[in-house]
């Protein structure tokens, strides 16, 4: 049976690519690890820290193959896909360690190959296996993943769902200009390029307002409207949903017909190639989530993140990979959902952050029907930018975190210059994760101090920088790769 996300022709191409990948893997064993996340989740930082810790011998006690000494060497190698930009690991490490600034966010797909030389834990496997495994890390924006459900929606359905969502909560205020302009636009009038462009511009401005740090909303397709790249200004990106479309065919030559045609072109030119050439070839996946940012913005942002996670998880086809599955396309058999920036909480709050994220994902998993896939949830910090301490205040001992706020950050009316460290009380998450999702219980909502810190200073030993500090990166590695290095 072919995937509902693809046509018969697409399925044939996916099957061909999958068989080719598996044939290549017989000579050089490899797996493809997808790394994605919604805005501000820290994809670039995760990959950079993961690679840096493996290359520099970082502290990874729960990554069993490394801890047991079975991994003898880890190295970067040329990636197999010449048409995909290389993930610029060296540049990002320079930015993080030398400049102590966070690298720019992911705006396009990139790839990096990391190869392990290892000894199998099984004597029989040591005889049969070459003891080498390559990990092709594929970095792509989470907004692209949120576009995949569009392949199952026609233009009318897309417009109806988008307009319904735009009329709820804080979106109702943000979408006012677009909804008003669309309401006064005659969709049956002759197609007009200036009207189409104006609709696109107002709709894209609404999406940007939703994404801003002040709102931190997550469900924002079409994803390329926020990062158009070389398609900016093309007809495939110059359209917008039209509210209240009647259940009748579009009049030929009308504005509505133009919008429908361009929407279908967007799926053909943008979404299908990503699905076929990249997503359908993945074996493992990590989805990074900035749950803390949504939590600090309140129940509406949390509900929107949950909605986005449902759309994300619907994209993953459960099941384990096998030669037979090559006939219908690769299957992602492990998905890790990781709540990032755990270092913004005292360790006492890590379990609560994980519980909130697990609650968010469990409902999405149930609704998406992907319970058969190997899915796990954890709270991590790809790079630990803070350390923990305690302070005495009013006769009480309070747990705090200590770090260097980025230049311009303001705490209690004090503006920081990017050089001075400070200690802050990070706040608390509620013991009951359900209260995070309940708008009618504001007194039980989280009180988290969202402070942006600079990357930490990394010490040198004998002239060599030590590995970047982290929280639970080893657990993530064990879940994603441990079984393939047995």
Alpha helices in 56-117 (DSSP H): 64-67, 89-93
- Can you give the pLDDT at residue 18? 53
CA 48 to CA 100: how far, in whole Å?
A: 13
Q: CA separation (Å) from 382 to 392, 455, 474?
A: 30, 11, 10
**Long-range pairs, 368-372, Cβ under 8 A, ≥24:** 368/310, 368/313, 368/314, 369/314, 370/313, 370/314, 370/316, 370/317, 370/318, 371/318, 372/318, 372/319
Which residues of the chain fall below pLDDT 50?
1-4, 6, 8, 16, 23, 319-328, 442-443
pTM for this model (two decimals): 0.88
Question: Sign of dihedral through CA atoms 198, 199, 200, 201?
Answer: positive
Rounded to 10 degrees, what is the CA torsion of 423, 425, 426, 432?
A: 160
Tokens of 291: 């749950």
Q: Domain 8-140+278-384+472-485 carries which CATH code?
A: 3.40.50.300
What are the residue ranges spanned by the domains of the chain? 8-140+278-384+472-485, 148-270, 387-459
Collect all residues with Cβ–Cβ distance below 8 Å to 133 and sequence separation of at least 6.
Answer: 29, 30, 31, 115, 116, 118, 484, 485
| pLDDT tens-place string over residues 415-459 | 999 999 999 988 888 888 888 877 655 445 567 777 899 999 998
Beta strands in 257-318 (DSSP E): 284-289
């Amino acid at each position: 049976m072919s995937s509902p996300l693809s046509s018969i022709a697409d399925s044939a191409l996916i099957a061909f690519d999958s068989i080719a990948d598996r044939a290549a893997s017989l000579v050089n064993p490899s797996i493809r690890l997808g790394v994605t996340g919604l805005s501000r989740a820290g994809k670039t930082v995760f990959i950079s820290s993961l690679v840096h810790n493996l290359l520099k011998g970082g502290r990874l006690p729960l990554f069993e193959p490394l801890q047991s000494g079975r991994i003898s060497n880890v190295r970067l190698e040329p990636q197999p896909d010449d048409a995909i930009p290389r993930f610029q690991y060296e540049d990002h490490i320079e930015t993080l360690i030398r400049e102590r600034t966070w690298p720019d966010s992911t705006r396009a797909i990139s790839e990096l190959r990391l190869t392990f030389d290892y000894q199998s834990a099984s004597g029989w496997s040591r005889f049969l296996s070459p003891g080498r495994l390559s990990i092709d890390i594929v970095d792509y924006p989470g907004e692209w993943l949120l576009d995949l459900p569009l392949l199952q929606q026609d233009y009318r359905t897309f417009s109806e769902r988008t307009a319904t969502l735009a009329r709820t909560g804080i979106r109702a205020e943000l979408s006012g200009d677009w909804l008003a302009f669309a309401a006064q636009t005659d969709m049956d009038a002759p197609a007009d390029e200036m009207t189409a462009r104006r609709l696109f511009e107002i709709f894209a401005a609404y999406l940007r307002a939703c994404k801003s740090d002040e709102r931190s909303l997550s469900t924002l397709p079409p994803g390329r409207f926020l990062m158009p790249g070389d398609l900016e200004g093309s007809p495939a990106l110059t359209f917008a949903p039209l509210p209240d479309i009647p259940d009748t065919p579009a009049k030929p030559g009308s504005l509505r017909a133009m919008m429908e045609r361009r929407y279908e072109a967007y799926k053909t030119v943008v979404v299908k190639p990503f699905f076929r050439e990249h997503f359908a070839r993945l074996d493992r996946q990590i989805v990074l989530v900035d749950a803390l940012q949504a939590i600090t913005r309140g129940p509406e942002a949390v509900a929107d993140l949950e909605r986005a996670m449902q759309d994300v998880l619907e994209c993953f086809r459960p099941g384990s990979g096998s030669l037979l599955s090559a006939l219908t396309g690769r299957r992602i058999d492990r998905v890790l959902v990781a709540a990032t920036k755990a270092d913004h909480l005292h360790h006492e709050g890590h379990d609560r952050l994980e519980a909130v994220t697990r609650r968010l994902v469990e409902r999405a998993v149930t609704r998406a029907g992907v319970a058969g896939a190997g899915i796990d949830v954890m709270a991590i910090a790809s790079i630990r930018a803070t350390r923990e301490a305690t302070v005495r205040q009013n006769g009480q001992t309070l747990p705090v975190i200590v770090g260097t706020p980025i230049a311009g950050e303001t705490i209690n009316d004090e503006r920081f210059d990017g050089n001075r460290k400070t200690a802050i009380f990070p706040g608390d998450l509620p013991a009951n994760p359900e209260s995070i999702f309940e708008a009618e219980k504001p007194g039980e909502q989280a009180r988290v101090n969202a402070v942006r810190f600079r990357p930490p200073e990394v010490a040198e030993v004998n002239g060599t920088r030590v590995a970047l500090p982290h929280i639970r990166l080893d657990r993530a590695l064990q879940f994603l790769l441990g079984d393939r290095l047995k």
